[in-house]
Structure 1
Amino acid sequence: MTANEIAGRLRAEATASAPALLLRRWEDADAAALAEAYRDESLRRWTSHAIGDEESALRWIREQGRRWEAGDRFSFAVLETGAQEKPVGHVVLKGLVAGSGRAEVGYWTAAHARGRRVASRALEALTGWAFATFAGQGLHRLELLHQADNEASCRVARACGYERAGTLPAAPPAHPLQGHLHLRSRVSPVGP
């Protein structure tokens, strides 16, 4: 199955306190919700994209589509299923290079959806999808990077089985502060 065939079917089950999640490709209709999410100062602090209005959100969404088609970045809008389905988060698989065996994951959650395990449930769905979809290309390790002072991202990483593997030095301007590197390896099935 191809990345495009599987992408429409990523889901995370409902919990006692939160609805199920649907992960799908970003759509032009998501621009308003994306621009609204980026009004949150905390989100802007932890992300590297500058989205200030619906126009820049639309440009970002279209770039995600181009990168998806190029096969080097797979960005998913995260939606809580129910009466009003609009993105409440984002997960991404990026840096997938054939033969390298590794790629990077990232995520964010909109301010109004925090505290409902959106990031961890979406990351777990993305992780399973990535390992299943790209196993034939040798993907066996996923890397998760975040600023060292982003304790929420550390919690999400640990909750999803991404073990902390080290501290990375600051690399301004893209990475002005030290970062943490977390890793998760694909578990190979045990043979007879």
Structure 2
Amino acid sequence: MHRWTSFAVDDETSAARWLREQQRGWEQGRRYAFAVEEVPPSGADGLPAGHVVLKDVALGTASAEVGYWTAAHARGRGIASRALNALTDWAFTTFAPTGLTRLELLHQAANTASCRVADKSHYPLTGIRPAQPPDYPQEGHVHVRHLAEGAGPPSAC
């Protein structure tokens, strides 16, 4: 995951800092992060499987960004796309009354797994973002889902 994320969590201190940032986002109403758990068939406590986030949310603003990551043990089973679809539904239900109509999903162009998740979640590829070091060191893909579109056909990355 280090290859694709901008916030490294390498130890307890950095993990605590990351968790505080997620909490601050909720408190400030600008970033809504959710843990993704994989619940075993036995119904026991869920296992951490990933994270989804709605970010850059502002009342009266039409656009926001979504993001996600999936733990290595949970990849390849549709967990990320199901979590992203749940987040998308929640975001539009919660924020459309205040103006939200568009969600952007950005990822590095070389991250083909994220392209597949975007397609499965009905976020068609709409553009290429050039590299802008240091914040965006590699070329990126821009996928967009509009409120009125809902689930449409997948696009090729």
User: TM-score, normalising length from structure 1?
Assistant: 0.74
2:9 is the alignment partner of 1:51:
yes
**Quick one: which of 29, 33, 37 aligns to 1:75?**
33
Match of 1:171 in 2: 132
Superposition deviation, residue 76 in structure 1:
0.6
1:1-192 aligned at under 5 Å gives the runs 43-82=1-40, 83-187=44-148
Moved more, 84-93 or 68-77: 84-93
Query: How many angstroms does 1:67 deviate by?
Result: 1.1
| Partner secondary structure for residue 99 of structure 1 | coil
- Using structure 2 for the length normalisation, give the TM-score: 0.89
Q: Distance in 2 between matches of 1:177 and 1:56?
A: 24
Report the 3-state secondary structure (helix = DSSP H, G, I; strand = E; otherwise coil) of the residue aligned with 1:92: strand
Residue 188 of structure 1 and its aligned partner are, at CA, apart by 7.8
Unaligned runs of 5+ in 1: 1-42
**How far 1:96 moved relative to its partner?**
1.0
Shift of 1:98: 2.2
Question: Which amino acid in structure 1 is aligned with residue 129 of structure 2?
Answer: L
C-alpha distance in 1 between matches for 2:106 and 2:23: 23
State the AA in 1 paired with 2:123: Y
**CA-atom RMSD in angstroms:** 1.4
Identity of aligned residues (%): 60
Runs of 4 or more above 3 Å deviation: none
More helix, by proportion: 1
User: How far apart, CA to CA, are the structure 2 residues paired with 1:108 and 1:125?
Assistant: 14
Once the two structures are superposed, residues 105-145 of structure 1 have per-residue CA deviations (whole angstroms, 9 ceiling, x without a partner) of: 00010001111111100000000000000011110000000
Deviations 1:136-169 (Å, cap 9, x if unpaired)? 1110000000001111111110111101111010
Aligned positions, number: 147
Structure 2 stretches of 5 or more lacking a match? 151-157
Residue 64 of structure 1 aligns with an amino acid whose one-letter code is Q
Between the aligned partners of 1:48 and 1:188, the Cα distance in structure 2 is 30
Instruction: Tell me the distance in 2 between the aligned counterparts of 1:141 and 1:69.
Output: 23
